[in-house]
Structure 1
Amino acid sequence: MSKLTDTQTVILSRASRQGDRIALPLPDRLRGGAANKVIVPLIQKGFLDEVEADIRNGEPTWRKTGDGHGTTLVITGAGLEAIGVETETPQPKPERAKPKPRTGTKQALLIGMLEAPDGATIAEIAKAVNWQPHSIRGVMSGALKKRLGLTITSEKVADRGRVYRIAS
């Protein structure tokens, strides 16, 4: 356990009780060089982190960084341990359910064409949904692969060209 001054202990204890864990404002008697002598060692030991302050929402600032930005001080897990506050074990984030495509849309039509046993070519899809080829490729890589998590395969077929399918 690291040795802390009374002032450092007060700053960390106050921050541990804040919902946002911000260590500001500092005690009134602590200004200028004296504040630096107390705060800089806490940052160096990893007990406080300098993070960008949300000035628009009125977060207090530790120092200005220019361009209207500033930093604030937030207590870390190590800082909480240094003053004997038990940290909560982080709960795993709940798995987000994959979005489902709406029925009756051009995207649903595209998915239906790709799920067919024969698959579909870009030209066939363009004719069915009245989209440009670059838009079709964009929807397949963005909405279908990334957003919906579908696996799209393609293979070159002699009489049709490149055929796309959704892998099962």
Structure 2
Amino acid sequence: MKTLLASAVLAFGLAATTVQAEEALAVTPQQTWQMVQEQSSDMLFIDVRDPVEIMFIGFTDAVDRNIPFQLVDRTRWNEKKGVFAMEINDGFVAQVDQALADKGLDRDSLIITMCRSGSARGKPSAEYLLERGFSNVKYVENGFQGSTVKQGEKQGMRVKNGWQNSGLPWAPKANPEKIFRP
């Protein structure tokens, strides 16, 4: 009975460790900027937004590269959300591997992903990479553009938190050297 109980505890502990390893940790835009300043050559910072989105919202040259986690499929419309459907970029993992190799890094190096809000593609892309053998992946909390304001004159606008609203460097145009091109 003790052996059975010990085996169950051990199995539960291993399962809990596996679940924790697959959950990506959030870092603030300010923490990300500090890491870029201090250890840029030892990490990969990627913007995972579709490049068309970047074209209309803006970009930070602090990222190493734009590698979209999902790409817009303009042949399919999502009636419920009123937007075009988005599909996972089939080449995402290979493109991240290549970006790491280009910097002389490997899958154990720190990778930080950033999308518009942090939750729709930032965290999911980080967890996707963790599930595929990358060991040190984080995402930017509140993403590039931040969260929407719930009340007041600017209700619905993304004017709080996020990279863009934190006084960190960004520009309305993307760096052509870093933007994704199929």
TM-score by length of 2: 0.21
TM-score under structure 1 length normalisation: 0.22
